[in-house]
Structure 1
Amino acid sequence: MTSTAQGAGPTRRERQRQATFDEIVEVARRLLREDRDVSIRAVATEMGLTAPALYRYVDSHAELLTLVARAIFVDVVAAMTVARDQHPDDDPAAQIIAGVAAFRTWALGNREEFRLVFASPPSPEAEANAHKPLLSLGDCAPEEMGAREFGTFFADIFGRLWVTYQFPVPADDDLPTGVLEALTGDDAEHKLGSPATGSPVTPGMLWLFERAWARIYGTVTLEVFGHVHPGLITSGALFEATVLDIGTDLGLADEWDRLRAVVRS
């Protein structure tokens, strides 16, 4: 993109180019939500362009999906942030429950977008047998999609949750075989807060965080794809029970009467 003079706003050409980028992403997301083909050619056709013309803005299909995924992550984090900010910072229990409840609400209302950014890439066999090409983010880097911002949203609250409730954290020697090695590395520090929060960024804390996320993600995924009884989805009973199970492990059982209302809201 052409640079502008220091202090000057974007040029007309830059504004037009950005508007085209925004339209590309919005058209691709609309096709995705409508369960239609999200290829370069399909997006170009919907915009009244040729595929070569669209390649002036997007280098590849992988880049197109990366742009779409980034926009989706921005939206879901924004929805969770609105829910979190309805509760004060000194109530991380309500904040994290409001966040996961907002994530579930977004997922149930945006099933195709959830499928793209949160479902596992399809196997080659599944793609070969599909009625149309299946979307996969296998070639897209998580940091380019905005996945780290999604994880950081929960990691920050989780660290503050420990500061408030001091729930037990497994020692290294108590972790299951293979967990210590898997959760020890150069990137462990950024996953859960920072020393400034007072949270112990240890393999045990990361293990608790990963287990909590796995249960939330697993429950929401089952609901999104309709793999549980419809009544358990519409009532929210399965999700509420999952959150209660996690909350009990994190020392929140005594506060469940008030936190249940946060889940249901």
Structure 2
Amino acid sequence: MTVEPTTRRERQREATYSEIVATSIALLRDGEDLSLRAVAQRMGMTAPALYRYVASYQELVDLVAYEVDRSATERFRAAADTLPEDDVAGRLCLSATAFRQWAHESPREFGLVFANPIADTSCARREMLTLSSSGHLFTDQMKAIWESNGFPIPAVDDLPPAAREAVLDPLIPAESEGVAEADRGLLWVYMQGWTQLYGIVTLEVFGHMDPRLVESGDLFVDTILRFAPRMGLEHDLDRLEALIRSHLRD
């Protein structure tokens, strides 16, 4: 298949999008408010010129959140890649630990990605929002564990009606790739695990937890280990705890 070369205008437009994202992240890291006006000023553009690329504040947030999530996911994936492909349990644990470390190091970026509602359909770059890089990574990692040890999953027909709809027609389409309809209970287990991981990290990052527990990571470790048996990993808890704690100190 022949790939059509991009035009100079298309390259310039994409370069401007990249600069918008980089500028927005710099504002977040500098502790400044993220706004269209602030981005335009730092880029040396007028606000009307910026509107040719992003039509609203929500669209700016969506654009930046997508790129932040994509970049952060590469870090989570790199953490997993320090282990062999067949250590599926260890890889998930290291990605989850890297997720926590990133959230603590970049709380405003974490909030932008995970405390931001999904945009409405008017977003010009809405097609990006059908993908969540981190969501797909964690889903794929859990699927690898399930394929490895065949841990039990609920039958779709046994799920509550709303849960049944959510696993049969997930909001993130790629979550269901390679999973037969009869096995979609796996997505329900994933949703339960993600809720616990996201919950503990959010409480830590936004200061709703005893700082001694944040410093030690004890509650985070306990949360992971308590969920691990749900994935058939009850005989691997000591190794997984040692693995997580070694990376918490990195």
User: What is the SS of the residue equivalent to 1:183?
Assistant: helix
The answer to whether residue 113 in structure 2 is matched with residue 117 in structure 1 is: yes
- Cα offset, 1:138, TM superposition: 4.0
- Cα offset, 1:202, TM superposition: 2.5
Aligned residue identity for 2:220: F
The residue that corresponds to 1:230 in the other structure is 211
The answer to whether residue 242 in structure 2 is matched with residue 246 in structure 1 is: no
Q: Does structure 2 retain, via aligned residues, the 8 Å contact 1:74–1:146?
A: no
- Cα offset, 1:33, TM superposition: 2.7
Q: Does structure 2 retain, via aligned residues, the 8 Å contact 1:152–1:192?
A: no
2:194 to 213, 230, 238: 213
> CA RMSD, aligned part only?
2.7
TM-score, normalised via structure 1 length: 0.80
The residue that corresponds to 1:132 in the other structure is none
Deviations 1:204-248 (A, max 9, x none): 222111111111111111011110100111111011000001102
Gaps of 5+ in 2: none
- Cα offset, 1:171, TM superposition: 2.6
- Cα offset, 1:105, TM superposition: 0.8
The answer to whether residue 30 in structure 2 is matched with residue 34 in structure 1 is: yes
User: What is the SS of the residue equivalent to 1:98?
Assistant: helix
The answer to whether residue 138 in structure 2 is matched with residue 154 in structure 1 is: yes
Rounded to whole Å, the distance in 1 between the matches of 2:172 and 2:67 is: 26
TM-score, normalised via structure 2 length: 0.84
Q: Does structure 2 retain, via aligned residues, the 8 Å contact 1:193–1:201?
A: no
Bigger mean CA deviation after superposition, 105-114 or 49-58 = 49-58
1:59 to 55, 59, 71: 55
In structure 2, do the counterparts of structure 1 residues 178 and 70 end up closer, same or farther at CA, with 3 Å as the change threshold? closer
Q: Percent identity?
A: 41
- Cα offset, 1:175, TM superposition: 3.2
Rounded to whole Å, the distance in 2 between the matches of 1:146 and 1:186 is: 11
Rounded to whole Å, the distance in 2 between the matches of 1:8 and 1:191 is: 31
Deviations 1:29-58 (A, max 9, x none): 121233422221111112222111222333
The residue that corresponds to 1:124 in the other structure is none
Where in structure 2 are the equivalents of 1:175-194 lying within 5 Å?
A: 175-176=159-160, 178-185=162-169, 190-194=174-178
The residue that corresponds to 1:130 in the other structure is none
Q: Does structure 2 retain, via aligned residues, the 8 Å contact 1:188–1:201?
A: no
Q: Does structure 1 retain, via aligned residues, the 8 Å contact 2:40–2:46?
A: yes
Gaps of 5+ in 1: 1-5, 122-136
Where in structure 2 are the equivalents of 1:21-100 lying within 5 Å?
A: 21-100=17-96
Q: Which protein shows a greater Rg? A: 1
